[in-house]
Amino acid sequence: MNANETPMQSIDRSKLFVASCLALLVTSLSFGIRAGLLNRWGAEFQLTGVEIGSIAASAFWSFPIAIIIGGMLVDAFGMKRILVLAFVAHLLGIVLTIFADGYWSLFISTLFIGIANGTVEAACNPLVASLYPDNKTTKLNHFHLWFPAGIVIGSLIVFSFDGIGLGWQIQMAMMLIPTLLYGYLFSKLKMPVTERVALGVSSRDMYFSLLNPLFLFMIICMFGTAITELFVNQWVDVLLKNVTENAILILMLTTGVMVVGRAFAGPIVHRMAPSGVLLISSIVATIGLYLLANSGAGIMLYVGALIFGLGVCYFWPTMIGFVAEYLPKTGALGLSVIGGAGMFAVSIYMIFMGGFYDSLVISKLPAGADLGDYLSASSGTKMAYDFEAAKTQAGPEILNATLIIPIILIIAFTGLFFYMRTRQKRAMKTPQEKMATS
């Protein structure tokens, strides 16, 4: 047992859960506030779509590196030490962002925040699973409701602070409050052992379990669920800014639905099982994303946001909960790998889509147009008007291109649903019935 970890009966489960939620709140605030600032940074620092995409992506590709390394070390170093590293990285990332003055400073500061975000999940996902071994998927949904909740809060900060004329640096500084709180709480609380250690599963068995075909299948599915949820939510202000004046409110609406949905996850998960939840979610997400991309600026755009939020609501926590419930031998590393895979996929997709977005915008401008000239065009000029019109058309096209991903997920999760039903029926057979059918 790690020196920083103690038996379950000696720990304060409620306070540890609250501290975990605060840490995740910081992670999600970084998404919500940054989603509201990407477009502004682009204008203030004259950034291209590729540069905006690479800044946003730095938080996503650093996340999987941090979460996987953290997952490998959490048993040996202890969850407390991993969370101290997360606290330090969050502080650095926030402060560096506040004093950023261009592309590279924004890139590096966002990189630190991504490292912190991944380190938080490397420790907190196995921590929640260890705290509630008989109710993992439900409690992971309750824990992960603070991700959309933080995006809602972050979006409200951007929206309200803009209204009273407070700059984006002050908006970023608001993240320091929950950061200091979770750092203080974790420094005072005792930690339990991870579930793998409690079960007596060896490191060798844990690494071998990562080769389980079902686990590999879930990693591939995580690529799609993460892109569907996180790419759209992170880029919504860029993609729909010129379609509606309230693009950031669409993000608030989508994530608000996710908060409510995850809060009431218990009955849904118990009634439908994780595989059923994932199948229905992929269908609803497809409908919502289609409406977001094809509704123009009318009321159906907001209906699409509601439906999309309901669709992606259970993706991330249920994917992690599925691994925790059905593949427990993969341990903390398994939870880290599945989360890291999702963020890695989003980072690659963001970089690719940043370039694709630029190419779409250029294709809608006069022949031979130079993107840099249009980025620096003065407000009110014909170049500025043409540039805004081009972005208005390009944003929904990006969403339509992304639509293929949840459609593929429908097929994948249909197969998973029937596979899990068959496996459950086999598990319920008596030894005599198994011998008769063999």
pLDDT tens digit string along 208-230?
A: 999 999 999 999 999 999 999 98
pLDDT for 338 beyond 90? yes
247 falls in which pLDDT band (50, 70, 90)?
Answer: low
Q: What angle do CA 35, 36, 40 make, to 5 degrees?
A: 110
The pLDDT of residue 436:
45
Q: Strand, helix or coil at 303?
A: helix
DSSP 8-state class, residue 296: T
The pLDDT of residue 437:
44
- Is 193 among the domain residues? no
The pLDDT of residue 201:
74
- Is 436 among the domain residues? no
Any idea what the CATH number is for the domain that residue 266 is in?
A: 1.20.1250.20
Which whole number is the average pLDDT over 262-283?
90
265 falls in which pLDDT band (50, 70, 90)?
Answer: confident
The pLDDT of residue 77:
85
CA distances in angstroms from 382 to 11, 360, 365, 391, listed in the order given: 65, 19, 11, 14
Which whole number is the average pLDDT over 6-18?
77
Q: For the chain, what is the domain count?
A: 1
> 317-335 pLDDT, tens per residue?
999 999 988 998 898 889 9
The pLDDT of residue 438:
42
CA distances in angstroms from 378 to 45, 306, 381, listed in the order given: 14, 36, 6
- Is 198 among the domain residues? no
Q: Which residues pair with 5 in a beta bridge?
A: 191
What residue numbers bound the domain in which 356 lies? 13-187+205-421
Place of tokens 């993706």: 315
Q: Which residues pair with 167 in a beta bridge?
A: none
Of 20 and 167, the one with more pLDDT: 20
The pLDDT of residue 387:
79
Of 103 and 431, the one with more pLDDT: 103
**Nearest alpha carbon to residue 397 among 348, 362, 347, 370:** 362
The pLDDT of residue 184:
93
Lowest-confidence region among 1-5, 13-17, 323-327: 1-5
3-state DSSP percent of the chain in helix, strand and coil, to 5: 85, 0, 15
pLDDT for 93 beyond 50? yes
Residue 5: φ, ψ to 5°? -120, 145
Supply the Cα-derived Rg of the chain in whole angstroms. Answer: 22
Which whole number is the average pLDDT over 352-374?
80
pLDDT for 1 beyond 50? no
DSSP 8-state class, residue 378: P
In single-letter form, the type of residue at position 86 comes to A
pLDDT for 27 beyond 70? yes
The pLDDT of residue 282:
97
Residue 375: φ, ψ to 5°? -60, -35
**Nearest alpha carbon to residue 341 among 143, 28, 61:** 61
The pLDDT of residue 165:
81
Joined together, the tokens standing for residue 200 give 């007596």
Q: Please give the share of the chain, as a percent, with pLDDT higher than 90.
A: 34
Which whole number is the average pLDDT over 267-290?
92
Q: How far apart are CA 377 and CA 281, in angstroms?
A: 42
Q: Strand, helix or coil at 165?
A: coil
Which whole number is the average pLDDT over 398-423?
94
- Is 199 among the domain residues? no
The pLDDT of residue 7:
54
**Nearest alpha carbon to residue 153 among 317, 304, 28:** 28
Which whole number is the average pLDDT over 32-61?
79
DSSP 8-state class, residue 95: H
**Nearest alpha carbon to residue 321 among 283, 279, 275:** 275
- Is 194 among the domain residues? no
The pLDDT of residue 337:
92
> 121-155 pLDDT, tens per residue?
999 998 998 898 888 888 998 999 898 888 778 87
- Is 8 among the domain residues? no
Q: What angle do CA 151, 155, 159 make, to 5 degrees?
A: 175
Q: How far apart are CA 433 and CA 412, in angstroms?
A: 30
**Nearest alpha carbon to residue 109 among 43, 158, 59:** 59
- Is 275 among the domain residues? yes
pLDDT for 199 beyond 50? yes
The pLDDT of residue 244:
60
**Burial zone of 365 (CB within 10 Å; 0-12 exposed, 13-18 middle, 19+ buried):** middle
The pLDDT of residue 113:
92
The pLDDT of residue 352:
86
- Non-local (6+) Cβ contacts of 138 within 8 A are 132, 265, 266, 269, 270, 321
In single-letter form, the type of residue at position 162 comes to D
- Is 240 among the domain residues? yes
Global pTM reads: 0.77
Instruction: Report the Cα 364 to chain-centroid distance in Å.
Output: 32
The pLDDT of residue 3:
47
